[in-house]
Structure 1
Amino acid sequence: MITMLNIAFRNLLQAKRRTILLGFAVAVVATLFLFLRAVSSSISERMIESATTLSAGHVNVGGFFKIRKKASAPLLAERTKLREIVVKAVPEATGVIDRHRGWGRIISPASSINAGLNGINYDEEGRFFKSLRLAKESEYKKDGSDQTFGSFEDLKKPNTALIFAGQAKKLELRVGDTLTVVTEASGGQDNTVDLQVAAIASDVGFMSNWSIFTQRQVVLDLYTVGPETTGVIMVYLDEADKSTEVMERLRKTFKDEGFQVMDHDPNPFFMKFEKVAGEDWLGQKLDLTIWSDEISFVLWITNALDFISAIVITLLAVIIIGGIMNSMWMSVRERTKEIGTMRAIGAPRGFVLQMFVFEAIMLGLLASGLGVLFGSLVIGVINGLDIPITNDGMRLFMMANTLKFSLHPSQIISTLILFSVITGLAALYPAFKAARLRPVEALMQGK
């Protein structure tokens, strides 16, 4: 093995110009591949973070309560009983909370926006507040300072609200200002409440533009419902990959407990109102989803990026494979006499085959290693600069307000392995042809 690697390395050094050109091409594609993977994984991670911070758990027990056929209120009755069933059925859960859901018009003296209302119990939301940070004044006010104002703990006070920097900027609000929430209650009448801004948090991706948080009792009062109702029970897990298995377990458990459960619909709850309103049933039905269902309306971003990445990398890989095959053919022609000599002194065909394949693999490994190193340095520099994203379309695509990329060891290792395998496979056919050269013919051709 050591002899084979030594021969492969010497052959690469001997054809310096060809090695440099081909190695540069492999390194560029490896850099691009690593960068695209980092972007894709960053967006996916931010989707999970945004979803499980703002609007969903890894598994969600929601549902609808119909008091008449055309109704579709996103409410759950028997809140305490449902939570007890969840806690018992999912002992591995790292947290179980419930939030009331609503939708309203948020009005300030300067402007207004539509946003989802989240009624929370502050003492249960340690995970939520740990994920947030208070926004600097400069994030929502032109010529603002780098100071932060307010406190998340002030949300314990009656009639207070937490909003995000993007909302504060549009509404021209600061901590201590008053906003008005207008909602339509179950009876069809409009209800309003004035809330004081207790804290302004930094945006959690663009999805934070659609949510404000207040005490659970505020939302109960706005919708005139009792304390044993809620909007959704959220289950948090150590591993998001187990979400589907836990959801199916809960589905079976609730059916065994006598609850009606809707068929799984991988869409957020607000996209199911019309469907539920058109169904002929009364009472309560549970609707179980996982985190990706609740943000399915933006999953096209990662799907589109993965599709584009696959096309780009495939095209570049084809070019690389063509270049390596051509390079190997040239190497075979230049070293025909060498091959004949090796075969004449007893080198088996397998040795010749391995020699060329090892040469290509070494080239792929060294070149992709340089590409990975360069790509990692670029990603590290970008992350360190903390570059703000000012374009709304770019913020939507990147799911963030600053340019940050996630890079994991598994991505680096898989990139090295992938390009080593690609270069090795590309050299296989020329190497096979070289190994089949007869010693006499090879020596004659080499003259």
Structure 2
Amino acid sequence: MLSLIQLALRNLFAHRERALLLLGITAAASGVIVSVSSLSAGVAEAQREAITTFISGDLNVGGFFKVHPDSIAPVVGDAAKVRGVLAKSVPEGCSVRERGRSFALAGAGRRRTGSFLVGMDVVGERGALERFRVASGSLESLARPRTLAISTTLAERLQVKPGDIATLFAQPVGGGRRNALDVEVVAITEKAGLLGESAGLLVSNDTLRELDGYKPGSAGVLQLVCGDTPVDVDALGDTLRESLRGAGFDVLPATNESYAEKQMPLLREGWRGQRLDVSTWEDESSFLSFVTLGLAALAVLVSAVVLVLVVIGLFVALSVAVRERTREIGTLRAMGMHRRSVVALFLMEGLLLGLVGSTLGAVLASGLCVALRGAVPLQGEISNLFFSGTLPLAPGLGLGLLSVVLVTLGAGLATIVPAARAASLTPRSAMEAL
């Protein structure tokens, strides 16, 4: 084997112009695969960060409460008991935060507009507040009673700015007359990309309780936030469902739906009381799965096209090389080299070209992705689609190794037919050729 490697290296050096060209092809192919895969992975990371900032935790323990069969509210009545069950299963490195879920009509003067209303633990979520893009005002001011942060789109509709007074209208738990609450606008937030107005109205949890008529000790949803800590949220969700059932709660089965999609079917059911729901961040953002799935499919398609082009290019180049090296092959065969050794020699040359070229391309592309990550600004719809104001790239060792393996295997595949053709030559015909 060592002698074959040495001979293959000697042949590549002897035909270095062709070898450099083929190295460039394999390096470019590997670089394209790494770049496209890094973009797909980066958008997936940016999407998850946006979702777990605005509308969901990594895992959510929420609920639906019905005072009577024709009313429903997204609230957990006995939040302390649920926290006790959740605390026993929280992985190390994760934390629990409280959020509120609701829908409200906001008014200023004669103007009205409706949007999703999100309650926050302002004091406990200092880190999350930094991820919101604020056009004006301060989100920290939400810690004051009866204050509101409103998205840029809704602020334009209502023609309000920080310091103005707006009125929130909501249906309290159990129905009855609509509740109204005057609030001070303290911040204007920018649109959350494709999440749109999912967090169009932001208030503190206390303000949301007052508006929706929730009793003290209730909560909208308890969210498990793990950041960079790796957690199998599906397995943890199953564990929590069993624990909550064991504690006496009525828990909904797992479905790949957001709480808003579950609310209307549950409203039509004729039960009363409390039902809990455990969902993952992927469940809550299932309506956005087309973004990551589409980019992943694009990455696979581009990688497949690139590999096909590499295989075709190397096949043509190596087929020409076999014809040009006919006398050399005849000499080797006349010196006693077996057909299998001839095949192995050409395969070794192809694999070396693929390995060296793809490694070089992967390293260069990864370095370029690291340099460009967060440095290329995005505007308009592209920024919304990628959930980021800058180009989200996430190169990794796994992506680099995958591109090296794929391109190297492609190079080996392209070498099989030329290698077999070289091995089929007899010493006499090879020596008499040309």
Normalising TM by the smaller chain, what interval? 0.7 to 0.9
1:420-435 to structure 2, matched below 5 A, reads: 420-435=408-423
TM-score (norm 1): 0.85
Q: 2:313 maps to which residue?
A: 323
Partner Cα separation in structure 1 for residue 152 and residue 389 of structure 2: 11
1:156 corresponds to 2:155: no
Q: 1:144 maps to which residue?
A: none
Amino acid in structure 2 at the alignment position of 1:162:
A
Q: 1:143 maps to which residue?
A: none
User: What are the Cα deviations for residues 319-369 of structure 1, in whole angstroms up to 9, with x where unaligned?
Assistant: 221221222222222223222322332434443333222222232234334
1:22-33 to structure 2, matched below 5 A, reads: 22-33=22-33
User: What are the Cα deviations for residues 88-119 of structure 1, in whole angstroms up to 9, with x where unaligned?
Assistant: 13353610122221112334579765432222
1:116 corresponds to 2:105: no
User: What are the Cα deviations for residues 359-397 of structure 1, in whole angstroms up to 9, with x where unaligned?
Assistant: 222322343345435544654554464414123xx2332
Decide whether aligned partners of structure 1 residues 263 and 108 sit closer, same or farther in structure 2, where only a CA change above 3 A counts.
Answer: same
1:60 corresponds to 2:47: no
Checking the alignment, whether the CA contact within 8 Å between 2:78 and 2:218 is kept in structure 1 is yes
Partner Cα separation in structure 2 for residue 37 and residue 435 of structure 1: 38
Checking the alignment, whether the CA contact within 8 Å between 1:361 and 1:420 is kept in structure 2 is yes
Query: How far apart are residue 229 of structure 1 and its match?
Result: 2.0
Q: 1:45 maps to which residue?
A: 45
Q: 1:279 maps to which residue?
A: 269
Query: How far apart are residue 177 of structure 1 and its match?
Result: 3.6
Decide whether aligned partners of structure 1 residues 263 and 312 sit closer, same or farther in structure 2, where only a CA change above 3 A counts.
Answer: same
1:47-196 to structure 2, matched below 5 A, reads: 47-92=47-92, 94-107=94-107, 113-129=113-129, 131-132=130-131, 135=134, 140=135, 150-163=137-150, 173-186=160-173, 187-196=175-184
Amino acid in structure 2 at the alignment position of 1:362:
L
Partner Cα separation in structure 2 for residue 175 and residue 225 of structure 1: 27
Amino acid in structure 2 at the alignment position of 1:86:
L
Q: 1:247 maps to which residue?
A: 237
1:300 corresponds to 2:287: no
Cα RMSD (Å) of the superposition? 3.0
Decide whether aligned partners of structure 1 residues 228 and 384 sit closer, same or farther in structure 2, where only a CA change above 3 A counts.
Answer: closer
Query: How far apart are residue 10 of structure 1 and its match?
Result: 4.2
Amino acid in structure 2 at the alignment position of 1:368:
S
Which stretch shows the higher mean deviation, 220-229 or 381-390?
Answer: 381-390
1:206-245 to structure 2, matched below 5 A, reads: 206-207=194-195, 209-211=197-199, 212-237=201-226, 239-245=229-235
Partner Cα separation in structure 2 for residue 111 and residue 42 of structure 1: 40
Decide whether aligned partners of structure 1 residues 432 and 234 sit closer, same or farther in structure 2, where only a CA change above 3 A counts.
Answer: same
Query: Out of 393, 396, 404, which is 1:408 matched to?
Result: 396
Decide whether aligned partners of structure 1 residues 108 and 23 sit closer, same or farther in structure 2, where only a CA change above 3 A counts.
Answer: farther
Aligned length: 431
User: What are the Cα deviations for residues 107-148 of structure 1, in whole angstroms up to 9, with x where unaligned?
Assistant: 45797654322222233324423x52664xxxx4xxxxxxxx
Amino acid in structure 2 at the alignment position of 1:153:
E
1:263 corresponds to 2:253: yes
Decide whether aligned partners of structure 1 residues 112 and 46 sit closer, same or farther in structure 2, where only a CA change above 3 A counts.
Answer: farther
Query: How far apart are residue 437 of structure 1 and its match?
Result: 4.1
Amino acid in structure 2 at the alignment position of 1:158:
P
Query: How far apart are residue 33 of structure 1 and its match?
Result: 1.9
SS of 1:337's equivalent?
helix
Partner Cα separation in structure 2 for residue 41 and residue 304 of structure 1: 12
Unmatched tracts of structure 1, length 5 or more: 141-148
SS of 1:372's equivalent?
helix
SS of 2:380's equivalent?
coil
Checking the alignment, whether the CA contact within 8 Å between 2:375 and 2:390 is kept in structure 1 is no
Partner Cα separation in structure 2 for residue 307 and residue 190 of structure 1: 47
Decide whether aligned partners of structure 1 residues 172 and 43 sit closer, same or farther in structure 2, where only a CA change above 3 A counts.
Answer: farther
SS of 1:189's equivalent?
coil
